[in-house]
A and B are shown apart, each in its own frame.
Chain A
Amino acid sequence: MTVAIVLTLLGASHFQNFGSAFFGFSYGSWGIMTFVVGSFLTSIPALAIAMLVGLGVAIASTTYLPKVLAAWLDPFVDLLAGIPSIVYGLWGLLVIAPYFGTTVFPWSTGHLSWIPGFAPAKFAPTPGIGTSLALAIVILTLMILPITTVLMRDALKSVPRDLWESGLALGATPWEVTRRVALPYAKRGVWGAAFLGFGRAIGETVAVFMVIDQIERLPVNIYSGTSTMASLIIGTFDNALLTNSYGHEYLHYLAELAIVLLAITLAVNVAGRWLIRRTYTEVAGL
């Protein structure tokens, strides 16, 4: 009803500014690829880490921890989700960034330089400055951790108890049952969690902007700054406010970028939700 109206309005007004064909997919001026890449470069590692940790926590919560303890600890993870992103950004900037700059980076440039991307190139990190792609990934991971954890926990919980006990009755250890029975059963839920987490990650604007050392270029290594689609929009918005023709064009540009971001996010979210729903319908269809 009203919901549908609002959504179409949303899309419509952005399209309105599509106007001139600024579909420059090349790097550099008026191109958007840099930022699409930037978005992916921050979100995918963050997603990977959040999925791993989230999966571990979900397994711990459903398989190993006594129910009482899990009931107590789980809300803490949910708390992560309630913190507003600027507070994350503030904390990331004022507390973690210096820490990274003074402690972590010197260590990692020395000891981890064999990993591609971890070695300082010509642009070595300025000592003491921690804002970087790396920091953005870390903060982003924390922000999507609650979603991935909760969704995977739900997915694992949806495994029928009988199935679980059958696994154990065959002489498997709890870990083996989780790995060979519960996870395959909950596979769609796990993938759903991945998609939804990714959607949240690329949409994250403020915190990322504050810690990423924004620059409209591709990152050289993980210590350099870059931009994501979202952080660009909010970071360079002032350009769109200019009343001259440049400002006007810039607004179009941002609107177009926003639509791309929206399209990707929507696609990912729809896929994610569909996957999650399929876990349950498949069971019901038995």
Chain B
Amino acid sequence: MIASAPSFDGPVVSVEGLTVRAKQQRLLDRVTLDFAGRTLTAVVGPSGCGKTTFVRTLNRMTELTPGLRVEGTVRYLGQNIYDRSVNPVVVRRRMGMVFQRPTVFPMSIWENAAFGLRLVHATEDEIDAAVTEALQRSGLWEEVRGDLDRPALSLSGGQQQRLCIARALAVRPRVLLLDEPTSALDPAATQRIEATLQRLKEEIVVILVTHNVAQAARISDRIAFLHSGRLIESGPTAEMLERPREALTAQFITGRI
């Protein structure tokens, strides 16, 4: 199942000296950070600090923007994902991504969840099992199990977002990347997603970008604080909130920046 790879005991994702440049600017500056299995790490910082860029380098989505240059290494289970022999398509299967706004496809709920599996021509049985499992893991199963052929667009915003999570989970990635997934949702929906994430972190690596410190406080195990493209500080949540080492961190936590 989703146990840690037995032959590897380093961090699942390891970032070293990651620098991202656009024209003359540095969007990320020599960030070094590790993500271990079974943790939920919240990446926080003021707007423009580079947290979205950061998370997008983890699954090579930065390649979609022309003009971005990536330096440094990002390792997934020890392998540099930016190595020439690695196909981004493969990387993205191991790291699921959920965006800020729900991005369900114009298809049925079932087809949405099955999307990733259809790409690799999985058998109907495999799809069946995986979709059911994914919907359960994302907390959506009970609400939709009766009618999976309904168009996904008929779901509420919070449900759509959970469908996006399910869709990402269906291909059984080890890492789940989320970029402010609840900022477009109401508090009730937000709460359900947070609950889902807390369950998921028991199984996989969850990396959550959020501008909401309270949310980070609620559900994360570790917090990484970025500012102007630099990693200022990172550590266990409790420590970061109560005894931050850097002044900048303290200012952010308390809302001054």
Contacts and interface: CB of A to CB of B under 8 A. Distances in A.
Interface of A: 66-67, 160, 162-163, 165-173, 176, 180-181, 184-185, 286
A170 B116 contact: yes
Q: Give 7 nearest A-B pairs by CB, closest first.
A: A171-B93, A169-B97, A166-B103, A171-B92, A170-B116, A162-B103, A163-B103
B119 A169 contact: no
A166 B106 contact: no
B252 interface: no
A168 B90 CA distance: 11
B164 A166 contact: yes
Interface of B is mostly: helix
A39 B168 CA distance: 50
B59 interface: yes
B115 interface: yes
B101 A162 contact: yes
Contacts of A169: 59, 61, 92, 96-97, 99, 168
B93 to A, nearest CB: 4
A163 B164 CA distance: 11
By secondary structure, the A interface counts as helix
A181 B104 CA distance: 10
Contacts of A172: 89, 115-116, 119
B188 interface: no
Contact of B153 (A66, A167, A181, A286): A286
Contacts of B116: 170-172
B171 interface: yes
B106 A185 contact: yes
Which of A167, A171, A173, A286 has the most CB atoms of chain B within a 10 A radius of its CB? A171
B115 A170 contact: yes
B106 A184 contact: yes
Given A162-B103, A163-B103, A165-B99, A170 B171 contact: yes
B107 interface: yes
B141 interface: no
A159 to B, nearest CB: 10
A169 B116 CA distance: 10
Contact of A181 (B93, B99, B105): B105
B64 interface: yes
B107 A184 contact: yes
- Name which of B92, B101, B119, B164 has the most chain A CB atoms within 10 A of its CB: B119
Given A169-B92, A176-B119, A162 B99 contact: yes
Given A168-B92, A170-B116, A180-B118, 13 more contacts: A67-B66, A165-B64, A165-B103, A166-B97, A166-B103, A166-B105, A169-B92, A170-B171, A171-B90, A172-B115, A181-B105, A184-B107, A185-B105
Point out which of B61, B101, B115, B118 has the most chain A C-beta atoms below 10 A from its C-beta.
B115
Interface of B: 59, 61, 64, 66, 89-93, 96-97, 99-101, 103, 105-107, 115-116, 118-119, 153, 164, 167-168, 171
B63 to A, nearest CB: 9
B61, B92, B105, B107, most chain A CB atoms within 10 A: B105
A171 B105 contact: no
A168 B103 contact: no
Contacts of B97: 166, 169
A170 B119 contact: yes
A169 B88 CA distance: 9
Contacts of A170: 92-93, 96, 115-116, 119, 167-168, 171
Given A165-B64, A180-B115, A173 B89 contact: yes
- Of A160, A162, A168, A169, chain B has the most CB atoms within 10 Å of the CB of A169
B240 to A, nearest CB: 28
Contacts of A163: 103, 105
A165 B66 contact: no
A66 B67 CA distance: 12
A150 B171 CA distance: 37
A67 to B, nearest CB: 8
Contacts of A176: 119
Contacts of B105: 163, 166-167, 180-181, 184-185
7 contacts: A66-B66, A166-B99, A166-B103, A168-B64, A171-B119, A176-B119, A184-B105
A167 B116 CA distance: 9
Nearest to A159: B106
B96 to A, nearest CB: 7
A106 to B, nearest CB: 45
A8 to B, nearest CB: 40
A180 B112 CA distance: 11
A171 B171 contact: yes
A25 B90 CA distance: 61
A194 B257 CA distance: 54
